[in-house]
Amino acid sequence: MSTKQGPTTARSAQDVRGIIAQRDLVVDLIRTACVVLVVVVHVTMVGVAVAPDGIGVTSPLQESSWYVPATWVGQVMPLFFVVGGFASATGWRSTRARGGGARDFVATRLVRLYRPAVPLFVVLALGLGIATALGTPTDLLAEVAFGIGSPLWFLAAYGITQCCVPVMARLHERAPWRTLGVLLLLATAVDALRFATGTAEVGLLNLGPVWLFAQQLGFLWADGWFARRSRVGLAVVALVGYAVLVPMTSVGLWAPDMLQDLNPPMLPLAVLAVSQVCLVQLVHGPLTRFMHTRAAQATVFVLGRDGMTIYLWHLPLYIALNGAALLLAVPFPDPGSATWWATRPIALVVVLAAALGVARALRRSDRPLPRLEPGTDRPGWPVVVLAALCTIGPAFVVMQWHLSFGVALLGAVAVPVGVWLLGRTRAQTQTQPQPQPQPQPGA
């Protein structure tokens, strides 16, 4: 059999190499690493204990003496939003370069974010509905639902930032530092109001300033601003950021546990984002060389391609796998014991493999919006806003009031409707006057 490549195959390989050469592969690496680290945290945070008096759930990670300082490294959500800002900046510029606008960008990004969530909400609604019908104890069901739904806050927070990209990108172009300063002041003001009133719900206002601040840092990264800074300067800024966090988290207002400051987000996460992006830039060179190895590219491709599906499904799968092991009477080591910690890498591999299997099964339904055909446009702003409410709304409800059968059913109905609305197209509105017909001779 001949192994000679045809011109199409050779051209395709050349195109792939060209795309790789133009991308900042470190961004792909960081995004994938953040998702994997979230899975690691949850696999080490949930421990199932089997005792004669019943089944208990503990949190060995949070019970460890090194847990709180570890959150200063392991809390990667600020960095995830920075990376999201980098991707959003390049995506927005690409959209504008091909003649698209804000509606095109928002529709495309929301569909890419929420389409993987459609089957999840359907499965959660069916599972919680069946469990309720079978008479599962309310307390147990609520605890399981709370755990399964805890990662869904990200859909709401990230969806909000994506809707703001066109506006925030324009502000970045006009006054990048003023925009960052205003966002930081707003985040401080929201936290101050939250502390003054003692109302945690006030902190929901910081879904904007804190995460948009991190996103704006991603815009700076995409501009190459951090790459132009000296290594000494980056190291100093990173150290100053961590130094500032010490007194901030010692006065009793903000928790030293960076995971506790997550929902609603608080000011320390904005400071942490600055330190994290500086540290990433410090190791950008070695990470770039690492990402030019085939093994690294293959790993990031396999995991990164289905990153959102892995993120959404890993915790339900982990809980389901533990439930199946209980039914099969698989022996459970004591959570927090040396044996339990030694089995965590195995648990991580099993969960990732299961999530990749789900991703592969759902890949046909997880596809981005095709680009607009000539003469077509996205729906008008009223439809886009309604679709955004349909998609973001259920995740916001989960974040604030936790997951339940009713909330899962809401998501199973509203999210597909929102995705469908965003995928519709209409005839492009003429923005230029049409030429008038010329009078015919002899008329």
HEC profile of 23-47:
CCHHHHHHHHHHHHHHHHHHHHHCE
Burial class (CB in 10 A: 0-12, 13-18, 19+), 246: exposed
Q: Are 258 and 201 in contact (CB under 8 A)?
A: no
Buried b / exposed e over 222-233, threshold 16 CB at 10 Å, is beeebeebeeee
Report how far residue 146's alpha carbon sits from residue 138's, in angstroms, rounded to the nearest whole number: 12
Report how far residue 167's alpha carbon sits from residue 155's, in angstroms, rounded to the nearest whole number: 20
Report how far residue 145's alpha carbon sits from residue 98's, in angstroms, rounded to the nearest whole number: 43
Q: Are 376 and 382 in contact (CB under 8 A)?
A: no
Q: Is the pTM of this model over 0.85?
A: yes
94 residue type, one letter: S
pLDDT at 30: 96
Report how far residue 60's alpha carbon sits from residue 38's, in angstroms, rounded to the nearest whole number: 16
pLDDT at 430: 57
pLDDT beneath 70: ranges in the chain: 1-22, 54, 429-443
Report how far residue 95's alpha carbon sits from residue 88's, in angstroms, rounded to the nearest whole number: 10
- Look up residue 265 and give its two tokens: 């987000």
Report how far residue 346's alpha carbon sits from residue 336's, in angstroms, rounded to the nearest whole number: 15
pLDDT at 101: 93
Q: Which residues pair with 55 in a beta bridge?
A: 50
DSSP 8-state assignment for residue 206: G
Q: In the chain, how many H helices and how many E strands?
A: 20, 4
pLDDT at 374: 84
Q: Are 389 and 344 in contact (CB under 8 A)?
A: no
Interior angle at CA 227, CA 225 and CA 230, nearest 5? 100
The kind and range of the H/E element at 306 are none
DSSP 8-state assignment for residue 424: -
6 in helix, strand or coil? Answer: coil
Buried b / exposed e over 172-205, threshold 16 CB at 10 Å, is beeebeebbeebbebbeebbeebeeeeeeebbbb
Alpha-helical segments (H) within 98-152: 102-114, 117-133, 138-149
Report how far residue 438's alpha carbon sits from residue 432's, in angstroms, rounded to the nearest whole number: 18
Report how far residue 192's alpha carbon sits from residue 203's, in angstroms, rounded to the nearest whole number: 9
Q: Which residues contact 32 (CB under 8 A, 6 or more apart)?
A: 299, 300, 303, 304, 307
* All structural domains of the chain with their residue ranges: 25-34+68-306+363-370+379-425
